[in-house]
Amino acid sequence: MFKKILETIVDNCSGGVGAVLMGYDGISIDQYVIAENPLDLNLVGIEYSNVIKEVASAAEILNIGDLQELSIKTDHYYVIIHALTDDYFVALLVDRCGNYGQGRYLLMRESHALRAGLE
């Protein structure tokens, strides 16, 4: 079920490379990566899960509300992380030539289906 939703997000995003549904503990639930990209999406999720926890903790300490989204821009990719629940997030990798805004929209649009599957 999750793989189909992740596939929809990646395939409908111009420049979409892959998406992973992961727990903040670094354990991957499911992922989808386009065939021509050898990037280890699990490793990306594991490494960024620690960053997400720190940012969420800072938001809580500052009393500015719950973390909803985090974006990381590198030389090669946009990494868009969307919080789903207190335990899970989804991360989308988009090529720098791709459509970052479209990726954000697709994550928001499909977040309800992902949340429903986690309950």
Report which DSSP code applies to 24. T
CATH code: domain of residue 99:
3.30.450.30
Digits of tens for pLDDT over the chain (119 positions)?
A: 899 999 999 999 999 999 999 998 888 999 999 977 677 888 888 888 888 888 988 999 999 999 999 999 999 999 999 999 989 999 999 999 999 999 999 999 999 999 999 88
pTM of the model: 0.91
Residue 42 and residue 31 in contact, taking contact as beta carbons nearer than 8 Å = yes
Give the total number of structural domains in the chain. Answer: 1
Look up the domain containing 71 and give its range.
2-118
